[in-house]
Structure 1
Amino acid sequence: MATLTQNYKSFSIPTKFPERSTLKTMIEKFYHWEKTMPDKVFLRQPYGDTWKTFTFAEAGREARKIATWIREQVPAKSHIGLVSKNHSYWIITDLAIAMADCISVPFFPTLNAEQLNQVLVHSECKILFVGKLDNWQGMKEGIPANVKTIALPDSPAKELLQWESIAPKIEPLQENVKPDLDEVFTIIYTSGTTGTPKGAMITHLNTAMAMETNIQFLHLNHNDNQFFSYLPLCHIAERCIVEAFSIQCGGTVSFVESIDTFGKNLEDAQPTHFLAVPRIWIKFQMGILAKMPQKKLNFLLSLPIISSLVKKKIKKKLGLSRARMIVTGAAPMPAETLKWFHKLDIRIQEVYGMTENHAACTIMREDNMKIGTVGQPFPGVELRIDPQNGEIQMRAPWIMKGYYKDPEKTAEVIDSEGWLHTGDVGELDDQGFLKITGRVKDTFKTTKGEFIVPAPIEWGFATNHFIEQICVTGRTLDQPVALVVLSEIGLKASKDEVSKSLEHSCKEVNAGLPNYARISKIIITKEAWTVDNGMLTPTLKIKRNILEDRYAPLLAKAMSSDKMVVWE
């Protein structure tokens, strides 16, 4: 139940944590499947209409070869870098690093040379594995001369030592290394919407404890656990829900080949477990509505037998016909979008977490959903709200060890009592449901001196299907404004129709806001915000500071217009 402790509103669900002696590291779990189910398919890599597969035995043999090579190059406990898009060899290499008793340091495949150099130098990596990439030419100059490099299969780095050319000469490592639970398993650099990336040190204990404590929520069985990997594996969410879950249960992971084949690969894979950030769900929604307008969809869903057929067809086409666990995270999901998918029998569970707490803070229980919140704490998580600024703070056995080589920043986010200060602002009700209302750093002050929390305002526009992306800003203005990127539906509509629709939505949103927080202008931008143009993080979060700088001249121009909706 919720309690007040030193003016903090707090909530926790007590649990009995697994005995330390019973915990198995992720690599030990892999050894188990490698031995007991050697012929079961573990990894599936698409090449056009063909899927190349690795059984547990085949993946293990390849990982053991890489582990042998690593041991020949560097001592145990060395930091080993991995930069690649999602691929079978991403997971194989990550396993190999653990087999070699080293620490994996994965990097986002979208980094430029300067960014890669920054994290490689900071992390003190001795080796860098280079996998499948889109921008190797813009990245390679950032690799320090003292870092050994080797190209994995499907890598564009043809000038490097090729793993495929030396693999036949290497014998697989025979021993099964058993890591100490308290040792660092991986260093994960945060994607960050602002500032310099920080390397969160995650221990083997963090991963094992988080998995075993929360296994009841994973919907796993021993016969059919299928995962689909496309979000960056170097991010904590994909690392947990795809890599760790699949190894926990002996499941199968199917990968995406490219952005262009995403839909086809997902439809082919039909995973039982699927994670998507809100932007992906909104794209799914827009894709459905582009083929079947809302009015027609509503009519079909009102017909008893037809409704069932329509839902099944939509789920199969999306690739979700077998999904038992459908999850969203990394950013808040608009309540209206969740409700829309619920009508299609696609029950999306929100999970709230971050790199620093192993992506496990709260989860929306399937049998106890409260839309508009991110669910209740995982068992064993202590949750509280700072009465001063509304910041969400949590405590659990899987909080990171700290930031690598940065005790000062570690002390800023983990206090002396072990509470993690998340930087998110929220509200906690008496049943333990957590509602996130924004980020401490996203809150801005207008020139009138009034504080604006942008996220709740942005969520108010979720029902307008002409909008794909929105960012409320206005640090240099008297009143906030909304920057908007149109959806595929919006791009096909006339300017007059779009303008009228957005004006209507704005009036509805403003009606529920105090005067100082009301949106004064909606500005439609020409360019979509993407990872490639630097407007989004690799996990598709908006970089507000970048957008504010990019559109500063446009904001000034828009404020002089007599129209509510201004087109770039």
Structure 2
Amino acid sequence: MSKTNTTRTPLACVYHWEKLRPNTMHFTQPIGDDKVVEYTWAQAVDQARRMATYLIAQNFPAGSSIALLGKNTAHWIIADWAIWMAGHVSVPLYPTLNAETVRYILKHSQAKLLFVGKLDDWDMMKPGVSPDLPVVTLPLAPETEGQRWDDIVAKNEPLAGNPDRDLDELATMVYTSGSTGQPKGVMQSFRSFYVCGTMMDDIIPATESDRMLSYLPLAHVAERIVVENNSTYHGFPVYFAESLNTFVHDLRRARPTIFFSVPRLWTKFQLGVMAKLPKKKQDVLFRIPILGKKVKRKILEQLGLEHVRVCFTGAAPLPPPTVEWYRGLGLELLEAYGMSENMAYSHFTRPGAARVGFVGHANKGVECRIGDNGEILVKSPAQMMGYYMEPEKTAECYTADGFFKTGDMGEIDQQGRLRITGRVKELFKTSKGKYVAPVPIENKLGAHPKVEAVCVSGANQPATFALLLLSEETRQAMDDSAIRDSISAELTSLISEINSSLDPHEQLEFAVIVKEPWTIDNGFLTPTMKIKRNVIENRYEPLIEQWFRSRKSVIWES
């Protein structure tokens, strides 16, 4: 598709597949009880056309904001198409936001209508939706006030013709997670979708025969581009996950050929395997020529990844040993880098050119340099149009020559590959007065096979320390004193080893094993499963003084 699709919008691609492959299955949607509903291109686009007819009949001003709140489903994407067909702008909201943030985004974006989709906690979010805002509920949505998608589709004729949009028109507003202050509305044009859909063939040479599983939030640009946009430009089918409980089953159903995940999940997959087949046994089995290959194949089959030919990770750093472990299984885990402000179109590791710990070369058309303060500066052809209604903040984030200030720190090797070394704002000073970059230390601690997540802290404290969340399997065995003693010994040794590679002011005084899991639901993780440092640090701040007094190198939270 992309070879002839030199200047097409996503909508033009939708019409292309509707005409060329009307009876080809495009979406597979689980609906519970191990049942699925499949939608062909013709069926999916027909529903989008009918909803577009309804939206046009509402007489909203051209280019109005239409919000989308829900987990990933076929109808989330179909609604996105309908919004564009009707001449409007889609505003996706994460399905885990609290009512206050929902209220802010709907008001700030001046949303004229809200699509409510599949949600786990609608009752928590609902107070953030004004009673005056029209609501349309997608299939699988919770029961609530408003009109039902199916009823609207049944009453309206499909929109005729192939109404398209200009490449430089506003297509969507993606609200950042707002870990520091209120979220900002990143304005992205159809050109950004076009760039991502047509300029990545040297990285992800997708075809109609590929398959992907959609499970990371579509409200995040990475999933939106990698799954929705990629499948729209290349025509391959998309499968959806029903829930966390059915995830492995959903993955096995899809048997994806292209797979994208975030570091937290890559780590959880690995820890799950380690719990059943400890690393020492793996090392022995993998060295046996024929048996080793069979064991590796079996592991990939159990994960549902045996057909994957392109797999990659992004959104946060991944410990190098984890990358090496997957490569040992035969998966070349490619690291990528991008953000909402450049539609995730920045850097991507090319197959065969990977360097562990680096996020690859700049994508086609992307310029990158390191600023005087070590900050990564990027100019991308998918650069945002700006922050909605915030021209001052937009101006602040660009250099005089148009490079975006990413807020990330990094370095570029002699081959042009980029490495992320941390966030400018994540640097902290201990009471010793010298800066500490937490991410490299976190990567070293996160390489331990029983550690699921890490937060290194120490701002204004006597020394640096770490908060560790152990894997779920390990947490379940914490009552066994022998296991606790073994883990304490392993971590004490690891801390000593890590400290030997650090400058004195960076060295870890102790590590704390926390009791409470860090999840999206309890606010410790962002929707893309990155740690929220400020939340974690505030939660444990009252305990820090007694931890320092304990003089222990490994502390178990009581």
**TM-score range relative to shorter protein:** over 0.9
- Could you say which residue in structure 2 is the equivalent of 1:4? none
Map Cα deviations across residues 511-540 of structure 1 (whole Å, 9 max, x no partner): 000111101011111101110000110000
1:435 is aligned, of 411, 419, 422, to 419
- Could you say which residue in structure 1 is the equivalent of 2:528? 539
**C-alpha distance in 2 between matches for 1:48 and 1:517:** 52
2:269 is aligned, of 261, 265, 284, to 284
Report deviation, 1:367.
1.5
Report deviation, 1:489.
4.3
**C-alpha distance in 2 between matches for 1:30 and 1:265:** 25
CA contact (8 A) 1:460 1:509 kept: yes
Report deviation, 1:211.
2.3
Structure 2 residue 141 is matched with structure 1 residue 149: no
2:25 is aligned, of 36, 41, 45, to 41
- Could you say which residue in structure 1 is the equivalent of 2:548? 559
Q: Which moved more, 1:130-139 or 1:47-56?
A: 47-56
- Could you say which residue in structure 1 is the equivalent of 2:457? 473
**C-alpha distance in 2 between matches for 1:286 and 1:433:** 29
CA contact (8 A) 2:207 2:235 kept: no
CA contact (8 A) 1:469 1:485 kept: yes
Q: Which moved more, 1:82-91 or 1:312-321?
A: 312-321
**C-alpha distance in 2 between matches for 1:225 and 1:31:** 20
- Could you say which residue in structure 1 is the equivalent of 2:389? 405
CA contact (8 A) 1:192 1:537 kept: no
**C-alpha distance in 1 between matches for 2:143 and 2:66:** 18
Aligned ranges 1:269-280 → 2 under 5 Å: 269-280=254-265
- Could you say which residue in structure 1 is the equivalent of 2:179? 193
CA contact (8 A) 2:203 2:351 kept: no
**C-alpha distance in 2 between matches for 1:39 and 1:334:** 44
Report deviation, 1:564.
1.0
Map Cα deviations across residues 213-267 of structure 1 (whole Å, 9 max, x no partner): 2222112123x11010000001000001100011111110100001100111001
Structure 2 residue 426 is matched with structure 1 residue 421: no
CA contact (8 A) 1:194 1:543 kept: no
- Could you say which residue in structure 2 is the equivalent of 1:299? 284
Map Cα deviations across residues 39-58 of structure 1 (whole Å, 9 max, x no partner): 01111111332221000000
Amino acid at match of 1:414: Y
Structure 2 residue 474 is matched with structure 1 residue 490: yes
- Could you say which residue in structure 1 is the equivalent of 2:154? 168
* Percent identity for Structure 1 against Structure 2: 44
Structure 1: which 5+ residue stretches go unaligned? 1-17
- Could you say which residue in structure 2 is the equivalent of 1:340? 325
Report deviation, 1:80.
0.3
1:353 is aligned, of 338, 346, 356, to 338
Amino acid at match of 2:253: D
CA contact (8 A) 1:351 1:375 kept: yes
Amino acid at match of 1:482: A
CA contact (8 A) 1:193 1:541 kept: no
1:66 is aligned, of 51, 58, 82, to 51
CA contact (8 A) 1:278 1:328 kept: yes
Q: Which moved more, 1:544-553 or 1:157-166?
A: 157-166
How well do the aligned residues superpose, as a CA RMSD in angstroms? 1.5
**Residue 439 of structure 2 aligns to a residue in which SS?**
helix
- Could you say which residue in structure 1 is the equivalent of 2:116? 130
Structure 2: which 5+ residue stretches go unaligned? none
TM-score, normalisation: structure 1: 0.95
Aligned ranges 1:241-280 → 2 under 5 Å: 241-280=226-265
TM-score, normalisation: structure 2: 0.96
2:517 is aligned, of 503, 528, 552, to 528
Report deviation, 1:488.
3.0
CA contact (8 A) 2:65 2:90 kept: yes
**C-alpha distance in 1 between matches for 2:14 and 2:201:** 17
Aligned residues: 549
**C-alpha distance in 2 between matches for 1:177 and 1:154:** 28
- Could you say which residue in structure 2 is the equivalent of 1:331? 316
- Could you say which residue in structure 1 is the equivalent of 2:104? 118
Amino acid at match of 2:101: Q
CA contact (8 A) 1:188 1:355 kept: yes
CA contact (8 A) 2:135 2:145 kept: no
**C-alpha distance in 2 between matches for 1:28 and 1:112:** 36
**Residue 321 of structure 1 aligns to a residue in which SS?**
coil
Amino acid at match of 1:516: H
**Residue 62 of structure 1 aligns to a residue in which SS?**
helix
- Could you say which residue in structure 1 is the equivalent of 2:496? 507
**C-alpha distance in 2 between matches for 1:565 and 1:94:** 49
